Amino acid sequence: MAYQQVHITINKKDGKMSVEGDGFIGNQCDELSAIEAQLGKVTATEDKPERYQYLQPDYVPNSLAG
């Protein structure tokens, strides 16, 4: 599993903040949007193509069957 990174940029002149996430796939993007809402007013959002990818969960084999 890859690491997720969050890049935050603050403009010194007007104080506007930009938040960009790398490594978030599918529903993991919702975790980042919850953090953005706690930081302040969200004025715009833009989804990356990774937002629409599906992450296949790791299945644990059932060794007791059979």
Report yes or no on whether pTM surpasses 0.85: no
Residue 20, domain member (yes or no): yes
Residue 47, domain member (yes or no): yes
Residue 34, domain member (yes or no): yes
Residue 40, domain member (yes or no): yes
Residue 25, domain member (yes or no): yes
pLDDT score at 11? 93
Residue 57, domain member (yes or no): no
Tally of structural domains, the chain: 1
Which residues are CB-contacts of 41 (< 8 A; sequence separation ≥ 6)?
A: none
pLDDT score at 59? 76
Query: What are the pLDDT tens digits along the chain (66 aa)?
Result: 568 898 999 999 998 999 888 888 888 888 888 888 888 888 888 888 888 888 777 777 776 655
> What domain range includes position 24?
5-52
pLDDT score at 66? 54
Closest CA to 20 of 45, 40, 43: 45
Which residue in this structure is represented by tokens 């296949």? 56
Residue 60, domain member (yes or no): no
